[in-house]
Amino acid sequence: VTRRERALAVADGRTLVSADPATVSWLTGHVPDIEIGPSPFSAPPIVVLDPEGRVRLVVSEDEAGGLDADVEAVTFPGFAVEDVDRRARAVELALSLIGDGPVAAELASLPAALVQRPFDDVGRTLQRARAVKDPDEVEAIRAAIAVTDAGQAAARAAFAAGRTELELWHETRAAIESAAGERIPVLADLVTGPRTAEVGGPPSTRLVEATDLLLVDLGPRVAGYWGDSCAVVALGEPPAHVREAHAAAYEALEGVKALVRAGASSAEIDAAARGTLSYPHHTGHGVGRTYHEEPRIVPDADRVLEAGMVIALEPGTYGDDWGVRVEQVVLVTDDGCEVLSGHDLNL
């Protein structure tokens, strides 16, 4: 079952419409520029999947490249010199593609002007349909994780007393983009010393001290798919309570990986990790066209894992002035999981 077949199953005879960037990417191959926010003189792409399986993308002529082979681009003017209302034009084009039949929509993503009659909202169903990856998606995630591994190695190598967190970040990001061969978006926590107690945060001008911890959580997007991993590194010999906490987080990670397999319950996996550790965040989440996606691994959202899901697992534990977290990405298989992350998890 390919992703397009899964989308058609959600649509169930209706025309499917979405402007959610993840769904658009998933169905068309479009990789949006995201690092600078939405363009004020453009409009987000809108994907239309008709019941026969044809995929069309309403998109700026500037962004119509790189689509999957059988996706048709229906374009509005790009960012050039014309003074036209590109958002209105995108809505007009999408309306002309949708026609008069029943529509299944990712409603929260659609511009209000597009919704002139009742559409069935299938947003959450689609989020779940994206959770199982096709083989080409798994390969793309492997490539993103190789880049993530390069970032983890660079952060570890750069970590030294007297440097700022920003300096560590710049070397880490340079290694990530050099591995990718291009400028790419990166989701990142990079905190040192007592800031590790805050779970995460952006790099600051804080100077690394001689006995600091570094907590580094990296998620680069490579060719439209996200990697994700976290490690904690210590300068010098950390105190016993930190070593013990790190060992406990590592054991919790090993413990939840042992539970992962097709048919496993995400709530039970979450409970297993929380039984030994305390942390104010998810135990894990899907990774793919978004950095956080289904299946969420949290206490009150039970999901049954399926083969082909790709999930990040990240138990941690945090004190008053320290914090540790270890994270790997795994591919769910019929009888267990394959660990995709290859970075160093040692303290």
**Min separation Cβ 121 and a second copy, Å:** 8
Q: Which one among 4, 79, 120, 163 touches a second copy, defined by CB under 8 A? A: 79
Q: Which one among 115, 197, 248, 339 touches a second copy, defined by CB under 8 A? A: 115
How is residue 84 written in tokens?
């036209």
Complete edge-to-edge strand list for the sheet that includes strand 103-105: 71-76, 55-60, 46-49, 15-18, 103-105, 120-121
Secondary structure (DSSP) of 79-91: SSS----HHHHHH
Does 108 bind a second copy (CB under 8 A)? Our answer is yes
How is residue 205 written in tokens?
């001008």
Cα(174)–Cα(286) distance, integer angstroms: 26
Q: Which one among 62, 92, 177, 306 touches a second copy, defined by CB under 8 A? A: 177
Q: Which is nearer to a second copy, 166 or 247 (CB)?
A: 166
Does 225 bind a second copy (CB under 8 A)? Our answer is no
Q: Which one among 1, 9, 61, 88 touches a second copy, defined by CB under 8 A? A: 88
Q: Which is nearer to a second copy, 183 or 241 (CB)?
A: 183
Q: Which one among 9, 160, 161, 174 touches a second copy, defined by CB under 8 A? A: 174
Does 204 bind a second copy (CB under 8 A)? Our answer is yes
Q: Which one among 45, 200, 203, 238 touches a second copy, defined by CB under 8 A? A: 203
Instruction: Write the burial class of residue 262 (CB in 10 Å: 0-12 exposed, 13-18 middle, 19+ buried).
Output: middle
- Positive or negative CA dihedral for 224, 108, 27, 89? negative
Residue span binding a second copy (CB under 8 A) among the ranges 49-57, 95-103, 176-184, 238-246:
176-184
Cα(331)–Cα(225) distance, integer angstroms: 14
Round to the nearest angstrom and report the end-to-end CA distance of the chain. 41
Please state at what angle helix 21-28 crosses helix 3-11, rounded to 10 degrees. 120
Q: Which one among 52, 83, 100, 335 touches a second copy, defined by CB under 8 A? A: 83
Does 170 bind a second copy (CB under 8 A)? Our answer is yes
Give me the phi and psi of 178, to 5 degrees please: -65, -40
Cα(109)–Cα(91) distance, integer angstroms: 13
Q: Which amino acid is at 120?
A: D
Q: Which one among 293, 312, 322, 341 touches a second copy, defined by CB under 8 A? A: 293
Does 32 bind a second copy (CB under 8 A)? Our answer is yes
Residue span binding a second copy (CB under 8 A) among the ranges 1-9, 171-179, 322-330, 331-339:
171-179
Residues near a second copy, by CB under 8 A: 20-22, 32, 34-41, 43, 79-83, 85, 87-88, 91, 107-115, 119, 123-124, 127, 166-167, 169-170, 173-174, 177-178, 181-183, 185-188, 202-205, 219, 221, 280-282, 290-293, 296, 298-301
